[in-house]
Structure 1
């Protein structure tokens, strides 16, 4: 068994155990393997084990891998943009990714909708919320998230799927769970409001993207439906010079 295959097995075992501890079914929580800074060959190695969903933070790097692996693999992968999206990169995201987790402005959502090719399914979108008010974190403020969600849900080439948050690191399980639970409460509030507003497709608001390698156990306890794991799958990263 390769290192990546072994890591994936360990991460999936950890997710299963966290689900058991939370009284949840394993199929309620999906694994997004975060492949930023790792090459297409590492993604292919993970895909060979059955992993199909991959997250990329750097848009051009992600597009290069998407195009390369589309030619190499006999099956389709699902690609999630989980990094910041600037206006000059919306077309790349709209044309190549299946999901984007980091919508925090209506302007970006509108550009993604306008630029999504007509021959592709609607782009799955999560709204990024700065749930704990971290000064260095992106995301819409919690009190503004519902207004943004209602606007995004009306855009024709997007499919609003849920919320994403990356809170500041917390020192222990209880603190981690508390901040993730705040995101879960906001998720439930927005989903209820979408249904009450009669928004078409409101039942598809089903994704709570919370938790990474360090805090996935607490995120699952709080209700995460998708955990984003990078180092736990691919190992430590080496970043290029700034």
Structure 2
């Protein structure tokens, strides 16, 4: 418990320091705790410490945790690649989905969302066009944003990127793309999320304008790959 508390405080202080250096309000950056492959008890302990937003990559593992922690007011984010045959689970059980990169995925999420509250989504962009990474191309973003914005039951909040390690210029390019889309968005007040930056590069991401950083290792330690 104390280790998790100390780790979270260190990450929050790092976020605060990065915001000061970038002359930004610390409240403008949200910490998303990436809890994939870590047990529910660690999530519970971090929840007690004040953390509310948690990110998961694996659908079945996440569904198990959501059930185990049903009594807690957790904001669940799915941050993995979205497969067509998993959209129903995501639409039913999550608050956010970060990995939307095709119109058909957004359409399925919209059709399958039965909650009164819309599902918050981020468009994943392959900002530096890596062959090994998912995400739409930057040139496709404007058309996708226009189409997805028309769908009911969804609230398109912004962009998510995972650049190549050390490619900090990608953060700057993502921020520029984010602002370009905001200028043409029908509901710019909803376009408020730039999800980028992880344990190793959150400082550079915040300097470039990230509003949400996805942190796992710096909070929970190395991942437990023996997951159920």
Which TM bucket (shorter chain)? Answer: over 0.9
- 1:85-234 → structure 2 map (5 Å cutoff): 85-117=82-114, 119-170=115-166, 175-176=167-168, 178-194=169-185, 199=186, 201-234=187-220
Once residues 128 and 200 of structure 2 are traced to their aligned partners in structure 1, the CA distance between those partners, rounded to angstroms, is 17
Q: Secondary structure at the match of 1:202?
A: coil
Task: For residue 24 of structure 1, report the CA deviation from its aligned partner.
Answer: 0.3
Q: Which runs of 5+ in 2 are unaligned?
A: none
- 1:70-81 → structure 2 map (5 Å cutoff): 70-71=70-71, 73=72, 76-81=73-78
* TM-score, length basis structure 1: 0.91
* TM-score, length basis structure 2: 0.97
1:100-134, Cα deviation, whole Å (9 max, x unpaired): 011000000000000001x3300001000000011
What residue number does 1:48 align with? 48
Once residues 189 and 86 of structure 2 are traced to their aligned partners in structure 1, the CA distance between those partners, rounded to angstroms, is 29
1:3-46, Cα deviation, whole Å (9 max, x unpaired): 11110000000000000000001000000000000111010010
What residue number does 2:26 align with? 26
RMSD: 1.1
Once residues 135 and 18 of structure 1 are traced to their aligned partners in structure 2, the CA distance between those partners, rounded to angstroms, is 31
Once residues 128 and 163 of structure 2 are traced to their aligned partners in structure 1, the CA distance between those partners, rounded to angstroms, is 6
Once residues 181 and 32 of structure 2 are traced to their aligned partners in structure 1, the CA distance between those partners, rounded to angstroms, is 23
Once residues 94 and 13 of structure 2 are traced to their aligned partners in structure 1, the CA distance between those partners, rounded to angstroms, is 28
Once residues 59 and 202 of structure 1 are traced to their aligned partners in structure 2, the CA distance between those partners, rounded to angstroms, is 31
Once residues 240 and 65 of structure 1 are traced to their aligned partners in structure 2, the CA distance between those partners, rounded to angstroms, is 15
Matched residues, number? 227
Runs of at least 4 residues off by over 4 Å: none
1:42-79, Cα deviation, whole Å (9 max, x unpaired): 100100110000000111111111111013x3xx1100
Q: Which runs of 5+ in 1 are unaligned?
A: none
